[in-house]
Structure 1
């Protein structure tokens, strides 16, 4: 789908998921706006690139190769 991103992230257990997501969204938004200045014009009314929502799930004991394969097989925006 063209309205979301899958990420596989390994981070320390002391870091709160909400804080990690907020940081990822903030940094990626700034970098994308720098690299693609037209985004600023497209999203100027909302003044934000990402939605405030997110989904985070854990993979437990699943092999990393299986999780990577799942993410790689997701549809890419056309």
Structure 2
């Protein structure tokens, strides 16, 4: 378990996110824990949540796929 102060968190959010990928990161304000930052995977394991339909439809890597032209359904065919 890592602990950082809110000032350190505000100065380098990217570093805090990197730390939170490894383990939950507690953020303190005047020495008292106020927030916990954790990866989405850790949160899902803890809460028992599964991927949502939105996550599944996001198509990771879709930018690399060769997709055809977009079809428009809101107008009459030509």
Structure 1-normalised TM-score? 0.22
User: Which structure shows the higher strand fraction?
Assistant: 2
The structure whose Rg is larger is 2
